[in-house]
Amino acid sequence: MDTTATTDFVHIYEPGSDAARSPLLLLHGTGGDERDLLGLGRAVAPGATLLSPRGKVLEGPMPRFFRRLSEGVFDEDDLHRRTHELADFVETARERYGLAQPVALGFSNGANIAASLLLLRPQVLAGAALLRAMSPFAEPPEADLSGKRVLILSGAMDPIVPAADVGRLARTLSDNGASVDHRTLPAGHGLSQADINLLAGWFAA
């Protein structure tokens, strides 16, 4: 396992040992990098192949996957552009590494762009686990998400993500055909052991 720099994204590709598991696309939160979610991915989907890019947008020194205007207010023009950029990277990586359609595992900013991927480029992902996600679009586009499983894990005491907002995201994905399991945990914005247990069970199902 090494960090690889390409013309698209700095990323880590970690081959898996269990061919029956879908590859995971790991998408870190603000200030994270390509190494942040590797341990989580290994814990909740043992043996899965891992593809983990680093966000290309900098907010000060902190990598992100797209720009925001303020906390909770997204630059939707940049979000559209960065979503397609990430989708193109995933498709190129699938060809390069011989990968099946991945399932996204995203936290915070990474979860938000994963939700955007589902809505703008649904063919890129087999499904997604969205941790502390918000609805990425004020007026979400329509997409055919039939057959895609989505797990959304929210924190009841999350100071960043309003409950109504993540509820709207869950409805949007469900209305577009996804099989959505939305759980609200007694947690804040950070992850808990309950998140890890639910993720492991969901990936094993």
Q: For the chain, how far is it from start to end, CA to CA, in angstroms?
A: 27
Q: Which residues are catalytic?
A: 108, 158, 189
Task: Specify the pairing of strand 149-155 against strand 127-131.
Answer: parallel
Are 86 and 76 contacting, i.e. CB atoms less than 8 angstroms apart?
A: no
Element (H, E) at 166: helix 163-175
E-strand ranges in the chain read 3-4, 11-14, 24-27, 50-53, 57-59, 62-64, 68-70, 73-74, 103-107, 127-131, 149-155, 179-185
Q: CA dist 47 to 41, 42, 54, 111, Å?
A: 9, 7, 22, 22
